Amino acid sequence: MLYCREIIFTCFLIVPLDSHPYAIAFHTSSPELGLALSNFAETNRCQTWDIGRSLATHLHSYLSEFISPQTWQDFAFIAVAKGPGSFTGTRIGVVTARILAQQLSIPLFAISSLAAVAWSQTRHHTDNQPRAIALQMPAQRGHLFTAIYQITPTAVIPLLPDTVLTPQQWEQTLATCSSPYQLIQVPENLGSTVSSLLELAHLEWQQGKRPLSSEALPFYGQHPVDQ
The residues, any chain, with a CB within 8 Å of residue 48's CB and separated by 6 or more, are: 32, 33, 34, 35, 189, 191, 192, 194
Give the whole-angstrom CA distance, residue 5 versus residue 212: 18
Sheet-wide strand order for 22-27: 44-50, 32-38, 22-27, 75-81, 108-111
Looking at residue 125, its pLDDT comes to 63
Question: pTM value?
Answer: 0.87
Looking at residue 122, its pLDDT comes to 80
Cβ 141 vs Cβ 223: under 8 Å: no
147, pLDDT greater than 60: yes
Looking at residue 127, its pLDDT comes to 64
At 6-63, the pLDDT tens digits run 433 333 334 444 456 899 999 999 999 999 999 999 999 999 999 888 898 889 999 9
Mean pLDDT of 114-136: 84
Helices 55-67 and 87-104, interaxial angle, to 10°? Answer: 40
Q: Is residue 90 within a helix (H) or strand (E), and if so which, with residue range?
A: helix 87-104
Q: For residue 134, how far is the Cα from the chain centroid?
A: 17
Looking at residue 17, its pLDDT comes to 43
At 68-124, the pLDDT tens digits run 999 999 999 999 999 999 999 999 999 999 999 999 999 999 999 999 999 998 876
